[in-house]
Each structure stands twice: as structure tokens, then as C-alpha cells.
Amino acid sequence: MNTLNHFDTPQLELLHRGKVRDSYRAPSGERLIVVTDRLSAFDSVLETPVAHKGAVLNGLAAFWFDKTRHIIPNHVISLPDPNVTLAQEAEPIRVEMVVRHYLTGSMWRGYQQGQRSFSGVSVPDGLTKHQQFPEPIVTPTTKEESDREITPENLVAEGWVSAELYEQMRAKALELFNFASQWMAERGIILVDTKYEFGLRNGELILIDEIHTPDSSRFWSAEDYAGNPETAEQMDKEYVRQWLIANKQDGQYPRALTPEVSAEATRRYLDIYERITGAPLPTGNGITPGGDVQARLVGNLVRAGIMKEVI
């Protein structure tokens, strides 16, 4: 299948190449974010890209950025291509605001080992796997080489944020989470947990990075959860993680996906996009509908005046 595994051009200054997103300096001085089809799992990028994944992440993030403008401003200017966002520059705050409504994932693993305090939030004994908390909780982490749990007090003491800024981020994270939870509940989806990243632009707090995507959030089928909470279907990239775990050999995860697993991952990404937005992912446009992704991307950037046509 046609995928965008890598994008590079001498016309634009590369600012940062991440596991999934590549950032460039646009001629306007703004930031151009290219969301590729690369898939990251267990701190490494797999050799096999997943078709349409980048467009799903970019499109879903744009959908949620638009839906939540009444809660907080964000960095989006426009989407010149399904895989590209033109964004305002902001000073990133090196803190991830993780909001959880269920005991699962790394928190459940820590709980099983006796941990009862998570980023300063205490939870009681006697909880079960995937149990819902009475209210969503915020468990921040630092954005470092290896993210670490940290209490709000230590975030302030170590100079990551001021107490006032942290409280503003905490309140906005919960407001965003509650808004999205209600939206998804009406569509049979549980927003289990997610992360938010913020930045400062001219001293104002804004939302950056991505929001409520399958890479930044955990989703469950509400129907499955009602039937058996401990085996609820995860509607995110957990499918790929579980395949990697099942096929681990000599302590090493596979570096590539089989065609069948890659195709199923694509199906799941497209499905969650349609279930959340109510419409299929738009995968073509007036330049090269259904054609080569890279050619379409370049054509759209030329049309937007961000790149010059190569003759």
C-alpha cells in the first residue's frame, strides 16, 4: 500500500525529526509539521509504515483542535495536506499532562506491584484491572530522554513550571478530557486516558502537539467494556503492541510487521477516525486523488506557496 515513511526536501529547513512527526520551517516563519505513516512502539520506530496512519493522526488532531477552541487556543493555522499541519510557533512546556479515568496500562502494572501513589495522586487498595476512578485524575510526567512521574510540587520545585501555570494546565487538561469523554460516550467509545501538551505564545497558554488520537490516547469499546471490563477491546495501536509482544524472540521485538498485521492496523486507524468524526477519512484531493502520497503532499505544498515547483 502507498505510504509516507519519510519526507525530506532541501527547500525547507528541518527543525526536528521525531519518531512519527517531522518539523520544518515554513517560508512564513511558522512551523510545518509532517505526520508520517511511521509507527513507534516500545521506544523504537518499526520498519513497516502503516498506510493512512499519518493522515488519521493529523486529521483527528485537527478535528479535536477545532472542537476545543472554546476551551483553549491551539497552534493550528491550516492543513495544507492530509498529512501536514501549518502551526504557530510556541515555547513548549516540557511537561506532559496525563489524564486517566481507569486503572490500566503502566498504572495498573505499578498498582499490581504495590504502588499506591502516582505523580502525587493516592489510590486505595482493592481496585481491579480497568476499574473506573470516581473522577479523572491528572498524573503529570516530565518530557525528558525518559519521561518520569513527578508530583506537581516537584514540578514547581525543579523549575519546570510555576504553581500558577501548573494549575492552569491541570484545569484545562480536565476540561478537555471531560468534553471529549462526553463526545465519545455518545458514539460508543470510552476515552480511557490521554496526554496533553501545552506551550506559551506571547505569554498565553495554548494547546500544541496532538490531541485525542490513537497514538496519544487509549480508547475502549463501551459495549465490550460493559460486557467484560478486563477484556475490553482497545481501539488504538495496542493491537500492534500485543502482536509485537506475542512474536518476541530472544528478548527482541520484531522490527517489521507482516502485511496482514499492517493492513489490520490500517483498518483500525481508519475505523476509529470514522467513529469519532462521523465521516470517512478523506484520502485524496484535486491534485492526485488516490495517487502517490508523496507526490500529493509536494503538490499541495506547492499550491499553498510553501514549496516551489521543481521543473
pTM (predicted TM-score): 0.93
The pLDDT, as a whole number, for residue 291 is 63
Three-state DSSP class for residue 114: coil
Residue 94: C-alpha distances to residues 141, 160, 209 (Å): 9, 7, 12
Can you tell me the distance from the alpha carbon of 265 to that of 284, in angstroms, rounded to the nearest whole number? 20
Q: Is the dihedral of CA 60, 65, 66, 71 positive or negative?
A: positive
Q: Which residues pair with 201 in a beta bridge?
A: 204
Beta strands in the chain (DSSP E): 13-17, 21-25, 31-35, 40-41, 44-45, 76-81, 84-87, 91-102, 117-118, 121-122, 132-138, 141-142, 189-201, 204-208, 217-221
236 pLDDT above the threshold of 90: no
**Tens of pLDDT along 40-72?**
988 889 999 999 999 999 999 999 999 999 999
What top-level class would CATH report for the domain 91-231?
alpha beta
Domain edges within the chain: 91-231
Mean confidence (pLDDT) of the chain:
93
